[in-house]
Amino acid sequence: MELVEWNDSFSVGNVLMDAHHRIFFETIKEFSKFPDKNDHEAIRKRIEFLIEYAAMHLGAEERLMRQANYPDIDEHKATHEAFVRELLSVKESFDKDPNSVTADTIMKIMQDWLVHHIAGSDKRYMPYVQNMQGSAH
């Protein structure tokens, strides 16, 4: 699959959120360089990292939306919850049968979600966050 690099068009107007999003992209890239794509132990660690990192990031993003009085926070949170459920179901499949999940599957889920979620839902809170910050930075 073709890897997407973070660039300014993915900016959501907040330095911390941008930094988190970049780490997701870096994680996908790092994952793509694994010498052995079927290394179960490495895949397990990656899934666990993604679940933890996603929980941390999504929580921080929800706090930011609340601070900025973003009106569609509930709808946005629901998309986060659906994503977390998707990650957990990947973990469940992996735990049941490690051969059922490949590094490419995880990379694809992550990248599809990031690109669509940032460009769609995240961009919608951008003006509220920028307004709260008092400047476009």
Q: Which is nearer to Fe ion, 31 or 61 (CB)?
A: 61
Q: Which is nearer to Fe ion, 17 or 43 (CB)?
A: 17
15 vs 17: CA distance, rounded Å:
6
HSE-CB at 83 with a 13 A cutoff on CA atoms is 26
- Report, in Å, the least distance between residue 80 CB and Fe ion: 6
HSE-CB at 113 with a 13 A cutoff on CA atoms is 22
- Report, in Å, the least distance between residue 49 CB and Fe ion: 19
101 vs 91: CA distance, rounded Å:
9
Q: Which is nearer to Fe ion, 44 or 124 (CB)?
A: 124
Give the interface segment with Fe ion, choosing from 11-19, 38-46, 57-65, 101-109 (CB under 5 A): 57-65
